[in-house]
Structure formats: structure tokens, C-alpha cells
Structure 1
Amino acid sequence: MLKKILLSTLLVSTFTFAQTSAEQKIIDTADKAVVNEIEQKIIKEKFDEAQKELEAKKARELAEKKARDLDMQNLAQINVILGKIKKIDLQLKDNILLKRYSNYLSYRKISTELALYKRSLIKKKKTASEEQLYQLHNKIKVKENELELINEYKGSPIGGFINPPVIEEYDLITNPFGIINALSQIKKLEDNKKQFRNLEKDINSLTVRLDDELILYLELFNLDQQGEYKEKITFLDKQKKDFNMVLEIVSTTQVVYTRKIEQVILEIKDQISQQIQKILIILTIIILLSFVAFLVKLALKKYFSQNESYYMTNKVINFSVVFLIIMVLMFSYIDNVSYLVTILGFASAGIAIALKDWFMSIFGWMVIVTSGSIQVGDRIKVTRNGLEAVGDVLDISLFKITIREDITYTSYTVNRRTGRIFFIPNNYIFSEMIANYTHSGLRTVWDGIDITLTFDSNHKKAQKIVKDILKHYSKGYTDITRKQLSKMRNKYQLRATGVEPRVFTFIEPHGMVISGWYLTNSYAALQLRSTMSPEILEAFMKEDDIHIAYPTQQININRTDNAYGVSVKKREMPKELEDDIIKR
């Protein structure tokens, strides 16, 4: 370019020089120097002008290049800023606080629209048609319903979150079970405090992110001044101010709320501590009562010769200890015992009717324990509704007597089964017959064996045989009974105290009955009967003048033409049949 400018300048100069040379022929030599000076000046001006034009062009090209570089740099910076903004938006996408803030904005928007509708209704009340007024009323009603749904956002950008969870009034701890509820309540209070503290952290984190996003939009607006960015900056600035206000309120409330919760927790812990001390005192009393009862039972055991008496005494001591423990617990954990007594007084009639059998069983237990009529280990017989049960007493509880059936004559003749466990309510002692086979240390009972003889038998000899056998087998039981009856005279007035075996003879329609009675062990009466019966039978079979009577049949064989013949030949019983009957 410079070469072209110089060449054009040279051509102009040559042309000018040629023209000047032609003119010099005319012009005076004196003016030649002036012309040359003017010519040099023109050449210089042209050169300077060309030089300036070249420099301006270079400056324009450089400015254009700088502008292009600046645009590229701004675009890259804008993309980076938009990327950061997008990242922040993704982090805040599911933020519950922003969701609630949108409800707050909706509430304000709906409130504004409702105010406009109400003003419009006032203005058009006289000029508008009924249809228009009706539509306005409907719109107002719809907006009011919408406001009612989001009413919690009326004065708070985050709605009800701005208020801490309510601290419920705690119940006074009056029993050990209240400790569990108190610990649960402490856990709930700690969770509420943590929840409100986390809300403060979330709001603080949100304000930081909103501030970062606002700064990014300001930078973006400086690079690209679009109206959209300006609106976003205005919205973010207001949103940030709203959340800063909420943060300040929540922070102040959180301090007060935390102190209140800590105060309530300390009060609850103090009550727990008092209740634990109370429990320890009660446990100490219970341990002392149990230890004293153990010493008493240990001392009384030396004075009881029979295990059954000690067992019943042990039950009474246990019941007394349990009763004392219940009374200690009642007076420890019932604040107003007189109030309880009043309630029980009013309810006693209904309770007595509803729990009549229970109360009767308790009274029956008291009678059994105090009278000593039945003790653990006794053999008793209970009869109710035709059912008989004979067994040994296993336990006497507050409501029932537990007995276990044994193999007895009753099992053999009536029940045909045994070994069962019977539970007899204690109230049966007032209404049913209960026979005690082993009362007051008496361990023997009278048992009898009946044998029917023919009328032509020597019944006196049979009586003697039976009496001898009974004496032989029951001698030990007779001596024991004599001693036991002597002891019973201190408690009861005994008249007939004969203990020797007794044999009675009775005339019955089918023969003479020899009834032998003897004393035997209450727990093994069937065994002794089983032993003596074969002995008596064998002794009778050895005597020719003693015949055992048993049901017999006589068969008469008549001719068919004389079914009711007058004379019938008596047939003798075959020897084999007679021997078989005797064996049976």
C-alpha cells in the first residue's frame, strides 16, 4: 500500500515537474525557487496525508480485532456464568423452602387480585349488569377459597415452618412406668430442637446460595445487559431480603426455643431422678421384707414335724409378704388413697356381684388356711353333681385347690379312670361335700370287705376266720391309729375310739353277709383290700361247712308235650362246671 502511495506521489510530482518546466520557460528565473518550495510543500502534505490514512486504517483494523477478541472473551465468560447459575438452580430445584416461598408469592398475588376484584365490585355495583356482578362475586369467592387453603403463608415466606414445634405439657412422673414416657418425651423434645436448628441451617445455606446466584446475575448483566437478567436480579434481591428476614426471626426464636426445651428436659430429668430414688427405697423395703420372711420360715421349719404343716405356713407367710408389698406399692404410688377407698366403696356392690365367685373363693381360702381343715398332702374326696373325685392335694392357692387322682376304690367302682388333675374352687367348701381322709395327722381310714355265704354255712366260724385275717393284716395300722386318736383328743371330743377290726353278720335276701371292717392306710386302702380278699376266699374254701353264695341258675328240661310237667327230674350240675364256678 505504501509503495502505491509513493508511486502515485512520484507520478504527480513528475507531471507537476513537467508542467513547471514548461512554465519556467515563460516565468522568470527569479520565481523558480518559490515554485520549487511550493512543490516540496505539496509533496510533503500528500505524503503526510497518505501516512495518516495508513495509520488510521491500521488503528481501525486493530480496534476491530480487539472488539472480536473481546466478544469472544465475553461470550466464554457468559457461558461460564450461566453454567454456575445452572448448577445453583439444580441444587435449589427441590428445596422445600423455595417451594414454600412460591406459595407465599402465590398468596400475595391472590391477595392483590382479590383486592382488585373487590374494588371493581364496588365501582361497578351500580353500573354493571347482574351477570357481571354475579361473575365478580364468583371470582371473589374462588380467590377467598384459594387464600384459605394457603392461609399459613399470610405473614411468613415459609409458612408454618417459621414457628417452632409446640412444647407439649409433660405429665408428672408418679410411677415407674412414667419414666418410660418421660424418656420418650425427652427424645421428642431433643428431636424438635434439632429439627428447628436444622431449619436455621437450611435457611442460612439458602441465603448464601441466593447471594451467590445474585452476584452471578450481576456479572452476567454487566456483560450482557438484557431485560431478562435485570428482572431476575430484582427478583433475587427481594427473595434474598425475605429469607434474610426469616433467618433473623428463626435465629432469635431458636435461641429462646432451645433454652425453653433445655429447661423442660432438666425438669423431667429431675423427676426421673426422684422416681428412681423412690424405686430404690421401695426395692430396699421389699428385699428387707423378703429377707425377714426367709428368716421366719427358716426358724419355723424347726418347729414343724410334718412337711404339710410347714408347706401351709410357708404359703401364709408368702401371702402376707405379698400383701405387705402390695400395700407399700399402693401407698407409694397412689397420691390420694382416700379417693381410691371412696371409689371402691361406690363400686363394691357391683364388684361383689360380678366377682362373687372370686370373693367366695378368697374367703374359702382364708377359712381353709385358718381352720386347717385341708392341707397340702391330704387325701380328700370331692362330690359335686354326682361326680366323685378322690386324690391328693397338690396345692392350695388363693382361688382353687389342686388335687391329683389316685387309684382308689372310687376309681374302681365309679370313675373307671384315674390320674387326672382336678381344680376345685375354694368356694366349694361352703356348698359342696369335701371329705378329708387324712385330717389332723390321721393317716388311716376304715375299709370293709363283704362276703355273702349261704344260709346253711357256719357263719360263726366264718366270722372268726375273717376277724383273724383282718387282725393279722391291719395290726400295724391299728397301733398307729390308736396313737393318732390319742393326740386328737386334745382337739376333738372322741367317744368311740375302738380301733380293732370289726366283723358284722347280716341276713340278706340271697344269703348271710359277713362284713369285715379294718383300719388301713389312707393312701393304700385298695392294695390291702386286694391282699386280704384272696386270703379270706382261700380260708373259706378249705372249710366244708362254709359255702360262698353267688347267683346260680337251675335248668329244667321238659318234654315238648309236657312243657309244664308236674314231675321234673332234678339234674345234678356237672363236676367241671361246679369246679369252674368255685374258681371264679
Structure 2
Amino acid sequence: MRFLLAIFLLFGFVIAEDEFSKNLESIYNLKEKLHKINDELKENITIKNYKNYQEYLKLKNELKDANDSLIKAKKTQREQLESKIKILEDKLNVLKDYETYSIVKYLNLPSEPSEYKKISNIYLVLEGLSERKQLLNENKEYESKLKDFTSLVSKVEQKTKLLQSLYELEPSENLNQELVYSIKELSDYKSTLENITNAYEIFKVKVANSIKLINADIKKQYDSAIKFIAIIICIFIARYLVGLILRKYVDDKDKVYTSFKILNIFTFIIVTMFSLFYFVENISYLVSVLGFASAGLAIAMKDMFMSLLGWVTLQFGGGFHVGDRIKATKNGVTYVGDIIDISLLKMTIYEDVTYTTFLTNRRAGRIIYIPNNYIFTELISNYNYSYMKTVWDGIDIVLDFSSNIEKAKQIILESAQTHTQAFSDSAKKAIQKMRNHYQMKNSGTDPKMFVMLEQYGVKISIWYMANSREALKMRSIVSEEIIKRLKECDDIKLAFPSQTLYLDKRTNQPF
């Protein structure tokens, strides 16, 4: 009997020892898992904020108890309690931001999606696309934060279960306090998770509705834009057809060019105004905006607006036309050429070989741009305005004092008349036509001759009419003719700077 009892006790001891070993192993495993979860949660900002809030509540309760104790305390205990109250107030002051703490607040979740703005015209489509992207990002951000918080709650729940299991195996006061804290924390988190999950469902529906409205507005504007493009294409087709008609039925190239410029400007105005007003519902708002914008631009871009005004003046004032030969001066440099284009902001001239380029610039063939506002501030000469296609040009010949002046005058006059008579007649007809518009004196268009005394001889100046575009060529032809005929005369000599010494005083002097 005693032997059996001994065997039974030994067997029970072995079982108990084995059970104890298993408990130790379970406790170790639980603590390892708990330590791992604590490491994962240690740097979590939500955990830190919640812990600070609990610390704030704890300090607040301690302060309340201390104040209550101070009322009932004896004189000897008051100093110690007052010191404790001061320390508690300082700690609370550090954590004062947690006075209005809520888990949702520190999760920084968007309460409402961005406000939907109606896309009323094509110009707001990009803004609508940006708004749609922002809404999707807000929804994604909300979903991401909700997912992170759900994962946090799951970890806190695991931690709570581990603490419960550990407390059952190894109960202690500290473990009990930690378990109570974890249970309360888990309860608060689960309540918050339920609230924000419901809020997210509402938020997601609002985002979906807003995106649906934005997509509908964008589709409407795209449809409207397709109609707009179709109308614009029709306008340009009409412009092209009108251009074909002009080329077919108008022979004058100048008229064709002018007609095309007017047609292009008219098309530009129609397209611009149609673009501005087609998509805009509130016309008065647009007019107000354009008014303020125009006032600001008029100040900031004064030269450009003056050029636009100059273009209007050029179109309706009739001062210059495409094809006219003009002369303009800038910074002491003179440019002479033909106008090849007049745009909204500038005149474009092609610099030709003229007496000016021959004498001073020694350059030609350049494209010169003249701002239209120059017609208000600078002097610009027009060589062939209206009917007048000729200009006066002159050649000076200096003869020796002993030359036969009368004979030379006749030769020079005949040389000029031979080559320029046609231009004189043309100028006379042009002046007759211009008298219908201008008060013009009849100064004659035939060659004019002037004789002047100079230091080294007698200067004969012959002036004649020449084509405004071929004045240099005509000067060369007339000069060549005069030289050729004067060389044939022995009694006519060209003068040049020289000195003459007369040793016999009785010899007759010139004149």
C-alpha cells in the first residue's frame, strides 16, 4: 500500500513539474510576442497621443483631489499640498493641447470632400479635372488612414489578448493595471473605428457623387467644344472660299492684297469674339473682367496699344499703303524701302538700293520693321502717295569760270528732258487728280535749272521728275548723258578745287 502511494505521489510530482515547465514556456512566449507588439506600437503617433491624453486625465484628477485635500488640510500640510498642486498645474500646462482631445481629431481625417464647383464653360475644364483628381486623392488618403487605423486596432486587440493570457498564467498588480489600460484603449479605438468607418462610407458616397457631376459637366463641355470646333472650321472654310473668289474675279494685285488683309482681320475678330462668348454664360461678368483687364493692359502695354491705334489710322487714314515707298529715320540712320506688309503692330518694309543707301548706308536688301505707333511720333516720308509716283531729283555740275555757261546750260537741260519728259507728263496728270483732294499750287513738272556761283566755279543744278523707285537709275542715266556731251565741247571744262597764279598783272582776270 505504501509502495503504491509512493508511486502515485511520484507520478503526480512528475506531472506537476511538466505542467510547470509548460507554463514557464507559455509565459516566455507570451512576453516575447508582447514585447514585439510593444516595439511596433512604440513610435505610433496615435498611441502616443492617446497616452498623453490619458496622462492629462490622470493629472487632472490628481489636481482635483489635491485641491479638495487642500480645503480640508491642516496648516502644517498646506505647504506640501500647494507645492504638489503647483507641480501638477505645470504638467497640465504642458499637456493643455489635449484638453479637447479626440482620436478622430488627431487622425486628421477630412471631414468633408472638396466643394463641387460647376463647370460652366470650356475654360474651367482643366480646373474640373484638377478638382476630380483632388477628390480622388482625398478619398485615397481617407481610405489609407482608415486602413492604418484598422491595423492599429488589430494590434492593440492582439496586445490585449496577450495581456489577458499572461495575467491568467502570472497574475500581478502591474500586469492588471496594464491590462485594464489596454482594455479601455481598445474600447475607445473600436468605438472610434466604427464611427470613422461609417463616416468614410458617407464621405465615399459624396466623393462619388461629386466626381459623377464633374464628369457629366466635362462631357457636356467636350460636346460643346466639338460643336465649337465644327463652327470654327466652317468659318475658315468660308474664309477660304471667299479667298478663292477674290483671286478668281479680282485682277488688281493691290486690291487682292488689301481684300485678304481685311478678310483675315474680319475672320480673326469673328473667331475671337465667338471664342469669348460661346462658352460664357455670364456675359456681364466677362465684360467687367475684360474692362479691368484692358485698363491694366493699356497702362502696362502702352506701346502695343498705340501700335494698334496706329494700325487703325493706317487702315482708315490712308497715309500709307502696301507697295508705297517710304523713308524712315531711327537713331540717325535712314531707311528707304517699299512697304510689303502692314500688320496689327508693325509695318514691314523691304530696303531697296536707293540714293540714300548708295550715299550713306552702303547696305540694302534688309527687312525693316517699323512699329505702327511711329506715325504719331516720327517723321516718315512717302515717295509715292496716292496718284503721285514720281519725285524730284537733282544733279549738280560745277564748271570752270572760263566755260561757255549758256552752251553748258542748254546741253544739261536737253540731256535731262530727253530721259525724263515721260515722268514730267505723268507727274502733271497726277497733280491734276490730286487737286480734287488737296489744295496744290501748280509749280510745274518740267525740268528746272538753277545757276549759282561757288568758290571754285559755276554750279549748274538741274532738277527733274523721276520714278520714285528708279531715281538712282535715272540719276545715273542723266549723269552719263551729261558727261558724254560735255566732253565733246572744248569750251566747257569741269571745275575742281585748284589754285591759279597770275604773274603778269596786266593779263585780264576771269570776268
Q: TM-score, normalized by length of structure 2?
A: 0.82
Partner AA of 1:150 in structure 2? Y
Q: Residue 112 of structure 1: which of 57, 61, 65 is its match?
A: 61
Look up the equivalent residue of 1:547 and give its one-letter code.
Answer: K
| Cα displacement (A) at 1:544 | 0.8
CA positional deviation for 1:443? 4.9
Residue equivalent to 2:270: 324
Shift of residue 380, structure 1, vs aligned partner: 0.3
Residue in 1 that maps onto 2:486: 540
Query: Take 2:51 and 2:108, find their aligned partners in 1: how far apart are those partners?
Result: 15
**Residues 90 and 345 (structure 1 numbering): CA distance in 2 closer, same or farther, change over 3 Å?**
closer
- Superposition pairs for residues 421-436 of structure 1, below 5 Å? 422-430=368-376, 432-436=378-382
**Pair 67,332 (structure 1): closer, same or farther in 2 beyond 3 Å:** same
- Which residue matches 2:345? 399
Indicate the residue corresponding to 1:243 in structure 2. 189
Q: 1:205 to 1:352 in 2, by over 3 A?
A: closer
1:245 deviates by 0.7
**Contact 1:485–1:497 (Cα < 8 Å) also in 2:** no
Of the candidates 145, 151, 165, which is equivalent to residue 219 of structure 1? 165
Counterparts of 1:229-308 in structure 2 under 5 Å?
Answer: 229-308=175-254
Quote how far apart the aligned CAs of 1:72 are: 2.2
SS in 2 for 1:374: coil
Q: Which amino acid aligns with 1:179?
A: V
| From 377, 385, 398, the counterpart of 1:452 | 398
Q: Deviation per CA, 1:30-54, whole angstroms, max 9, x where unpaired?
A: xxxxxxxxxxxxxxxxxxxxxx222
Offset of residue 246 of structure 1: 1.0
Q: Is contact 1:293–1:321 with CA below 8 Å preserved after alignment?
A: yes
Q: Structure 2: which 5+ runs fail to align?
A: none
**Aligned residue runs from structure 1 range 6-155, under 5 A:** 52-120=1-69, 138-139=86-87, 142-143=90-91, 145-153=93-101
C-alpha deviation, 1:181, in angstroms: 2.0
Question: Per the alignment, do residues 141 and 225 of structure 1 end up closer, same or farther by CA in structure 2, a change over 3 Å counting?
Answer: closer
1:449 partner SS: strand
Corresponding position: 1:408 with 2:354: yes
Shift of 1:445: 3.5
* Range with greater deviation from structure 2 (356-365 or 248-257): 356-365
Greater mean deviation of Cα atoms: 320-329 or 332-341: 332-341
- Report the alpha carbon displacement of residue 63 of structure 1 after superposing the two structures with TM: 2.2
Equivalence for 1:439: 385
Query: How many residues are paired up?
Result: 505
Question: 508, 516, 527: which is aligned to 2:462?
Answer: 516
The answer as to 2:447 corresponding to 1:502 is yes
Residue identity in the other structure for 1:215: K
Aligned counterpart in structure 1 of residue 125 of structure 2, from 170, 175, 179: 179
Which of 140, 147, 155 is the equivalent residue of 1:201? Answer: 147
| TM superposition shift of 1:540 | 0.9
Higher relative contact order (CA 8 A, sep 6+): 2
Residues 384 and 433 in structure 1, CA contact (< 8 A), matched pair in contact too: no
Question: CA 1:541/1:323 → structure 2, altered by over 3 Å: closer, same or farther?
Answer: same
Using a 3 Å threshold, how does the CA distance of structure 1 residues 77 and 141 change in structure 2: closer, same or farther? Answer: closer
Deviation at 1:253, TM superposition (A): 0.9
Deviation larger for 334-343 or 144-153: 334-343
Contact 1:117 1:140 in 2 (8 A): no
Q: 1:246 to 1:527 in 2, by over 3 A?
A: same
Change (3 A) 1:87 1:326: same
Query: Residue 389 of structure 1: SS of its match in structure 2?
Result: strand
Instruction: For 1:556 and 1:100, locate their aligned partners in 2 and report how far apart those are by CA, in whole Å.
Output: 123
Residue 250 of structure 1 and its aligned partner are, at CA, apart by 1.0
CA RMSD of aligned residues (A): 4.0
Give the distance between the partners of 1:256 and 1:132, measured in 2 at CA.
54
Is 2:475 the counterpart of 1:526? Answer: no
**Which residue does the alignment assign to 2:261?**
315
Provide closer, same or farther for how the CA distance between residues 311 and 102 of structure 1 changes in structure 2, counting only shifts above 3 A. farther
What is the deviation of 1:259? 1.4
Contact 2:388 2:427 in 1 (8 A): no
Instruction: Tell me: CA distance 1:332–1:208, structure 2 relative to 1, closer, same or farther (3 Å).
Output: same
Deviates more, 1:112-121 or 1:294-303: 112-121
What is residue 192 of structure 1 aligned with on the other side?
A: 138
Distance 1:420 1:251, change over 3 A: same
Structure 1 pair 139–69 and aligned structure 2 pair: CA distance change class (3 A): closer
Is the contact between residue 402 and residue 424 of structure 1 (CA under 8 Å) also seen in structure 2? Answer: yes
1:270 aligned partner, one-letter code: A
- Residue identity over aligned pairs, in percent, reads 35
Aligned mates of 1:202, 1:435 — CA distance in 2: 81
Q: The residue matched to 2:103 in structure 1 has which SS?
A: coil
Contact 1:450 1:514 in 2 (8 A): yes
d(CA) in 2 for partners of 1:84, 1:399: 81
Residue 193 of structure 1 deviates from its aligned partner by 1.5
Contact 2:327 2:336 in 1 (8 A): yes
Give 5+ residue unaligned stretches, structure 1. Answer: 1-51, 558-566, 571-584
Pairwise CA distance, 1:260 = 1.6
* Cα separation, 1, equivalents of 2:355 and 2:429: 24
Aligned mates of 2:163, 2:364 — CA distance in 1: 99
Distance in 1 (alpha carbons) for counterparts of 2:62 and 2:429: 109
- The one-letter amino acid of 1:256's match is I
Name the CA distance, whole Å, in 2 between partners of 1:343 and 1:312. 34
Structure 1 pair 196/522, CA: closer, same or farther in 2 (3 Å)? same
Tell me, yes or no, if the aligned pair for 1:309 and 1:375 is still in contact at 8 Å. no
Change over 3 Å in CA distance of 1:486–1:460 after alignment to 2: same
Is the partner of 1:545 in helix, strand or coil?
A: coil
Preserved contact between residue 118 and residue 140 of structure 1 (Cα < 8 Å): no
CA distance in 1, matches of 2:76, 2:274: 84
Question: TM-score when scaled to structure 1?
Answer: 0.73
With over 3 angstroms needed to count, the CA separation of the structure-2 counterparts of 1:148 and 1:172, relative to structure 1, is farther
Contact 1:453 1:513 survives alignment (8 Å)? yes
